[in-house]
Amino acid sequence: MSIVLKERPVFVIGAERSGTTLVMAMLGNHPRIAVPEVVWYYSRFRPYLHTYGDLSRDGNFRTLAEEMVHGLKTPYWGMPVNPRTIVDEIVDSVRERSFAGLYCAMFERFARESGGKPRWGEKTPYNLFFVGSILEDFPNAQFVFVTRDGRDASVDYLESSFGPTNIFMAAEIWRMCQDAVTSWREQLSPRGQWADVRYEELVREPEKVLRNLSGFLGEEYHPAMLEFHTTSLAKARGATRDHRPLGHPVSDRYIGIHKDLLSLRDQRIFAHVAGKALVEAGYDLDVAPQAPTPEEEAKYREWDGRIRAATLDGPEGHIVYESYNDWLVDQREERRKRGVWRQEDDPRTFPAGHPHEELIMGQRAWRKWKTHFSIKRQYVGKLAL
């Protein structure tokens, strides 16, 4: 089943730390487009829908609705709702009894609460891995892919309180994101469903880029888009170390940060891992690649896993978000034990079996290492996520 909306939904995608949150905030301040905080619905739920059983059954459908509605990183996107009744309200408002129906109902609710805006968009970076699924659900969706110099994105990743912890892993993930959209760009660009936004151009000539983006979306450009930093979303994000740039007007001060923050060796390792993708994205490669030895590569991978897990509950860590994701995985197994689904029902769709399956679905660390370090879950926090 699919949902074709008169006001086409907008999906902002791109590798993390590439400027997707900036574009989200800008689009969300357009008078016709409502864009809430990041959701991770496609990566956390869409590949695992078989674990909910037959969604035509009220109990199964409600379970999916409860986990989606109550599982947002920013509770209810800040909407004034009654937690006791919000699930019933969403279920009663769906266009169809499906994942897409629930997804659409949530965003339409947010758009109404945002001054009755007629159109909605969403930003989850790793939706770039689920473009095909999104098109199955919303055939006329439009995609905005944000690209940033992979070296700057990687060093920004390394400086943040989540994500990869060494340049080898950061480069691998950035390359994986770039490679994932190549075929979709070719297919969707001629159909008016794909727009590329280069971060460096956006921050240097924001009005020009936003005018072009507005034209792609079929919307009039509105100066309010440049006032994104005055919104409650941007202020909340801007109060955190990882998203401080959202707290002030758009700036080009973050271009080229890898030159100061990456060693020459790390720049060369990036060139080895992701140099080809960097050049294909239109950036100059100014160092010779340096390949880690197999032993070094194995150490990069293991230490990344160890450090990610061990720092989850550190300053500005993402232990609350991680704990809910872990709980979702546990619930799948509990439903299997109750007979809601059987192992043979698993279609093993992407990202099942992928080396980075847990990261693609939104986890910040591998369960193997969380178990190793006996990381305790935490379901209540105060930090802006």
Q: Do 85 and 78 contact (CB within 8 A), yes or no?
A: no
d(CA 32, CA 232): 17
pLDDT of residue 385: 45
Size of the chain in residues: 385
Residue reference for tokens 């997707």: 20
pLDDT of residue 384: 45
Question: Hey, what are 208's tokens?
Answer: 């020009």
d(CA 195, CA 280): 17
List pLDDT tens digits, range 289-308.
Answer: 999 999 999 999 999 999 99
Nearby residues of 338 by Cβ (< 8 Å), 6 or more positions away: none
Nearby residues of 143 by Cβ (< 8 Å), 6 or more positions away: 10, 11, 12, 13, 131, 134, 184, 188, 193, 194, 195
Q: Do 309 and 369 contact (CB within 8 A), yes or no?
A: yes
**Containing H/E element for 146?**
strand 142-147
Q: Which amino acid is at 159?
A: E
Residues of the chain with pLDDT under 70: 381-385
Q: Crossing angle, helix 150-159 and helix 264-280, to 10 degrees? A: 130
Q: Which amino acid is at 38?
A: V
Q: Give the Å distances, CA to CA, from 323 to 37, 92, 112, 141.
A: 19, 29, 30, 31
List pLDDT tens digits, range 52-64.
Answer: 999 999 999 999 9
